[in-house]
Amino acid sequence: MAFSLHSYPVVYRAKYGHQAWKEEYIEKPHKTPEEEAALGVPEQNALAASRNAYDDMPLVSYTTQYGLSCFEGLKALPQQDGGLAIFRPDQNAARFRRSMEGLMMPGFPEDSFVTACVETVKRNAALGFRPQYKKEWEQDSFISADSIYIRPFSYAEGGIGVALSQKPWVVVVTTPVSAYFAEGSSDAVITERIRATPKGTGWIKAASNYVISALAKHEANEAGFMECIYLDAVHRKYVEEGSSCNVFFYLKSGELVTPELGDTILPGITRASIIELARDRNIRVTERKIAIEEVFAEGKECFVSGTAAGATPIESLTYQGKKVVFNHGKTGDLTAEIRDTIKGIQYGTLPDTKGWMVKVI
């Protein structure tokens, strides 16, 4: 399983109250990574469960009852030089503050966010909990490479009435990850479900948005597809994004299109980075509405983007029983170049000319 919850022992937590955030780092039960690896599966699971248990987290809260929560997802990557570095945490910090404010919670300070991510990774690494860089990853452009997934999230105080969170907590957990999408098929399908509506919370990385995504993704998987793609809620015509990733189409004309941001699309940091990298290569990149008919008629390559997905090629897209196959089912040249460039910057094999990487150790 590529994405599992065997979180590292050190967890960051900040509680809001009296106009201030009270911070702490909690060291949950652990042995050495080697001793833990030698345990039987039941013992490993028991340890993982104890690390995920908090006696003082309210059971009934606006988060557990009404899904009032937002989160972030970012990565710390083992570097070629043996260190660890985080990809653009300042951007996640800014989005997290916007998300919290969008949910009418007190915004979490951006510098505290970056420090919490760096410190949590650093403290776990000091206990030996970190992946080590492997030279062999370079062979497949880091598609199979390991990294640390950092998951900051908000958690509401206890409460039962429908109300806003005034004293949220911010928690940062970390867990090791390998490639997100299983190797093999990367067929996508247009789902009939609606992820986000105008004036809703689609632009916020809100926990509640993921209910629809989990349903739609499950249906897509059951039907044999890897991913589902949403159309807009109003016209049911324009492509918006995937279940947890943004989408790009490289058209026959040489234009790289990604749906323009609005209140129904999540402003991905990978998306923004890809736009910048493609423009540096003199590719014509446009952020605009793109109808599903245009994708069928003009699409040459397609990929989805996100922290977990990186840039993952989409082989085909099915809509109302019709299927378009991109680039004869093979990863396109532009898709591969973008994917490899991002991975190279992230793992330190390409120069970080934009200052995107923040060193942890």
Ligand X SMILES: *Cc1c(COP(=O)(O)O)cnc(C)c1O
Contact positions toward ligand X, by CB under 6 A? Answer: 73, 205, 241, 244-246, 266, 268-271, 305-307
Q: Are strands 284-287 and 255-258 parallel, antiparallel or unpaired?
A: parallel
Minimum separation from the CB atom of position 299 to ligand X (A):
20
Minimum separation from the CB atom of position 219 to ligand X (A):
17
Which sign does the torsion angle of CA 195, 200, 205, 208 carry? negative
Q: Specify the residue, 269 or 295, whose C-beta has the smaller distance to ligand X.
A: 269
Q: Which of 325, 279, 323, 282 is nearest to 300 (CA)?
A: 325
Minimum separation from the CB atom of position 342 to ligand X (A):
10
Minimum separation from the CB atom of position 20 to ligand X (A):
28
Task: Please give the Cα distance from 337 to 253 (Å, whole number).
Answer: 18
Residues, the chain: 361
Q: Specify the residue, 191 or 270, whose C-beta has the smaller distance to ligand X.
A: 270
Q: Strand runs (DSSP E) across 60-106, as ranges? A: 74-78, 84-87
HSE-up of residue 350 (Cα within 13 Å, Cβ side): 18
Q: What is the DSSP secondary structure assignment for residue 97, as one 8-state letter?
A: H
Q: Specify the residue, 89 or 268, whose C-beta has the smaller distance to ligand X.
A: 268
Q: Specify the residue, 186 or 307, whose C-beta has the smaller distance to ligand X.
A: 307
Minimum separation from the CB atom of position 241 to ligand X (A):
5
Task: Please give the Cα distance from 342 to 174 (Å, whole number).
Answer: 22
Minimum separation from the CB atom of position 246 to ligand X (A):
5
DSSP secondary structure letters along 263-302: TTS---HHHHHHHHHHHHTT-EEEE---BHHHHHHHEEEE
Which position has the token pair 């479900």?
Answer: 193
Task: Please give the Cα distance from 109 to 114 (Å, whole number).
Answer: 9
Q: Specify the residue, 141 or 307, whose C-beta has the smaller distance to ligand X.
A: 307
Give the torsion through C-alpha atoms of 35, 40, 44, 45, to 10 deg: 180
Residues carrying an active site annotation: 205
Identity at 124, one-letter amino acid code: N
Task: Please give the Cα distance from 149 to 353 (Å, whole number).
Answer: 23
204 touches 264 (CB < 8 A): no
Q: Specify the residue, 47 or 93, whose C-beta has the smaller distance to ligand X.
A: 93
